[in-house]
Amino acid sequence: MTARKGYTLIEILIVIALFSILLSLALPNLNFYLNFMERQEMEEFRNDLLYARNMAILENRYYIVYFFQDLNSYMIKTGEHSPAIKNKTFNNGLRLSKNSTTTNFTFTSTGAPANSGTVYIVNRKGRRYRVTLSPATGRIEVKLE
């Protein structure tokens, strides 16, 4: 008798069936992971806005958060010609919407906003986050619509 050096069709089909079962169990977890990363990125964005407001108060100077829709990013600076403190691109399925009412949020040395407005961020499912900066109080509100 000679030794077998291959796999039968049945063995290959069983392995493919097992892989497909394992993959079907892992796909719902992938969706959970994407939702988690989206929430983390929105939380980081909110924290960056709070950071800009609080640092404006602490350092007694203007802080500006610029929004770049074409680059899908935002940048924190202390002035128009100063170097960027932070430059962040949305990566996890989030994108800045063109329906936003402002291109930047500016915080004065008292932490009050020099301008107010709303920035819309759309997630991978097409739902919008509304990020609003209140005019007098400087309150930052993030809501999923």
- Determine the pLDDT at residue 92: 87
72 in any annotated domain: yes
Tens-digit pLDDT profile for residues 54-68: 999 999 999 999 999
User: How many structural domains comprise the chain?
Assistant: 1
**Quick check: 76 pLDDT over 90?**
yes
108 in any annotated domain: yes
What Cα–Cα distance (Å) separates residue 107 from each residue in 30, 37, 39, 120, 136?
38, 28, 25, 19, 11
The mean of the pLDDT values for the chain is 90
Q: pLDDT grade, residue 47 (50/70/90)?
A: very high
Alpha carbons 21 and 116: distance in angstroms, whole number:
51
**Domain CATH number, residue 40:** 3.55.40.10
Q: What is the model's pTM? A: 0.79
**Quick check: 77 pLDDT over 90?**
yes
2 in any annotated domain: no
For residues 67, 131, 78, 94, the Cα torsion angle rounded to the nearest 10 degrees is: -40
Alpha carbons 116 and 112: distance in angstroms, whole number:
10
Q: What is the mean pLDDT of residues 32-45?
A: 91
**Quick check: 14 pLDDT over 70?**
yes
- Determine the pLDDT at residue 1: 56
9 in any annotated domain: no
Tens-digit pLDDT profile for residues 79-106: 889 999 999 999 988 999 988 888 999 9
109 in any annotated domain: yes
Q: Look up residue 16 and give its two tokens.
A: 């493919």
For residue 74, what are the domain limits?
Answer: 28-144
3 in any annotated domain: no
